[in-house]
């Protein structure tokens, strides 16, 4: 079995368009795509991004923590995830850009998906089980049988073996944080007891996203622009 992983798009339409251009031709054409959440926030194109995603026949669309912030106002109250009030203002800006249909689509997203492939149980989630704001802790997962844990959230690729299990993270399509500002996605190959992850990097028009952040006067944009260009996390966002 072969499939594609995409995570953490964060309202970055140029990155998403570059991704679709890459996978819709050549050796990846026709492979199923599993999306791991965080489609909105931290970017200038929330409405356009969700609309484009809804037009694509993705195999699964999971929910991420930023998607939850948009559909649940109570999730913003006293949320330690945001280092400043401007983060909450940004979430409300994002929500106000989204149509009723696109908000309904976000509300309908599931948080987990599991299936069997080869000799593996594949277990997909955005963060970790029980929290979409933390990543998988290898000391707190089942490791005595062949489980392939797939997650997003950190914006950093991960390919880890822990006893009998594996942990894969494809990195971030729309906002990488591993010092490589190219969009990242993953290709998973499973055959029998073998499971492999290839992380693919593609360039996209970062400055188009930066211009839109400025032109649309997106709250919290200073840190977002810096991290888009440098692929480094800042405490501004």
Q: What are the residue ranges spanned by the domains of the chain?
A: 2-230
Q: What is the model's pLDDT at position 182? A: 98
pLDDT-derived band at 233 (thresholds 50, 70, 90) equals confident
| Overall average pLDDT of the 153-181 stretch | 98
DSSP 135: P
**Residues contacting residue 78 through CB under 8 Å, at least 6 positions apart:** none
Q: What is the pLDDT of residues 104-148, one digit of tens each?
A: 999 999 999 999 999 999 999 999 999 999 999 999 999 999 999
Q: What is the model's pLDDT at position 234? A: 73
**Residues contacting residue 156 through CB under 8 Å, at least 6 positions apart:** 169, 171, 172, 176, 177, 178
Percent of the residues in the chain that have a pLDDT greater than 70, as a whole number: 99
Please tell me the class of the 2-230 domain. Answer: alpha beta
- Pair of tokens at residue 112: 């987990």
Check if the beta carbon of residue 172 is closer than 8 Å to that of residue 199. Answer: no
Q: What is the pLDDT of residues 38-70, one digit of tens each?
A: 999 999 999 999 999 999 999 999 999 999 999
């Amino acid at each position: 079995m072969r499939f594609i992983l995409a995570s953490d798009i964060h309202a970055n339409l140029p990155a998403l368009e570059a991704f679709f251009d890459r996978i819709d031709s050549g050796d990846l054409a026709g492979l199923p795509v599993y999306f791991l959440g965080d489609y909105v926030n931290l970017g200038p194109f929330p409405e356009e991004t969700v609309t484009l995603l809804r037009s694509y026949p993705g195999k699964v669309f999971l929910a991420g923590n930023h998607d939850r912030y948009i559909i649940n106002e109570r999730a913003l109250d006293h949320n330690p995830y945001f280092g400043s009030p401007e983060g909450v203002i940004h979430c409300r800006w994002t929500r106000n850009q989204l149509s009723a249909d696109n908000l309904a689509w976000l509300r309908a997203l599931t948080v987990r998906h599991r299936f069997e492939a080869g000799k593996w149980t594949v277990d997909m989630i955005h963060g970790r089980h029980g929290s979409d704001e933390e990543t998988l802790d290898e000391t707190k997962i089942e490791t005595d049988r062949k489980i392939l844990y797939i997650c997003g959230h950190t914006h950093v690729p991960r390919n880890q073996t822990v006893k009998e299990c594996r942990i894969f993270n494809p990195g971030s399509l729309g906002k990488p944080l591993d010092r490589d500002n190219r969009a990242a996605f993953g290709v998973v190959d499973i055959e029998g007891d073998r499971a492999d992850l290839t992380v693919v990097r593609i360039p996209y028009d970062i400055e188009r996203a930066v211009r839109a952040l400025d032109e649309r006067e997106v709250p919290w944009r200073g840190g977002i622009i810096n991290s888009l260009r440098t692929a480094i996390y800042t405490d501004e966002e």
